[in-house]
Structure 1
């Protein structure tokens, strides 16, 4: 038996300090998971967590110390940045308890959930899915993955993003409304999580538009910084 056409290569992310590659299975994203970001989007309170997805091949890997180039996407006049802590799972499971969640984490990275905000807003207005605003090509730039043992106290780390050298986003991971462990617990009730899943854990306040030619520099304390230029 043969394929109708050659299958696409597996999306992979480098692992810091190793020659091994992390094969990506799915990308889950948590919506409105910092209180101040929820407020700037017109919402308040600790609502139940909700999720959307990006295709695995939306990943745009940016090597440590390099500046990645992200093509400015089509169909939008309002592209927004959202800096996030990315959680990489090395072990899957169903109905994982929050207390056991860290046993399933392989490592962490820094990512950008790039968003065609005008298309997302129109989808919300029409009661339609968000994929066109969230799941487009190259919409998930990210750094190599740092294994948990090397990541330090990631859950109390600072998270930040500058655009052209000016601060846009600044917060701490501890301000997540739903912690990484709680997120894994809820996600694993809705899907059977797999090794290779990435979880974009949410973005703090300060999201705003970026233009072609802009340089985005962001990070999470203890992880490699992420630098992306829009081209």
Structure 2
């Protein structure tokens, strides 16, 4: 089992390496073509910051599970506001209410983890923050797609591609994080296989977002030209 842990620990570095290269390439060669592109870029930047911060946190603490709540709150805020501003054309009051309720739950669970669970037994660890956030963002995605199907005018291809990618990714996230206690505490090789699959899905998702910004973004003028 130790070999699996060492392999997975090394493989997780693919995420910050990928994000660093992606952000550097986008900064140097592309600029946003749509207002929501800034949100997608910020999403990738936050993912990198959270990943590196969680690794640094482990230098002084026994676990970094607090970042499950922090990242969930960041995802909900950023992606939720992006949906509300650019993709949801109807049911906006319900959308804002859902965003508030989900955000309140994640904040409550984060406070509970900080104030009461500092010395908790990991065999009882169970967080629903990522589950709630994923369910909320999947609901936003499905509603946005249904609204576009019912509209008579031609659907915006760029928006639809992004909404479908987000909906698919957070659907998988919902399934993966529902039994998070198993992934944290189970002593079985099967959980490492599932962690590896989740790592692969996450990398593919980040690559897709990078290619999305690259394809639909505008070319930047080179800093130096002959």
Range into which the TM-score falls when normalised by the shorter chain: under 0.3
Q: TM-score scaled to structure 2, two decimals?
A: 0.25
Flag the structure with higher helix content: 2
Between structure 1 and structure 2, the one with the greater Rg is 2
Question: Which has a greater percent of strand?
Answer: 1
Q: Could you tell me the TM-score, scaled by structure 1's length?
A: 0.25
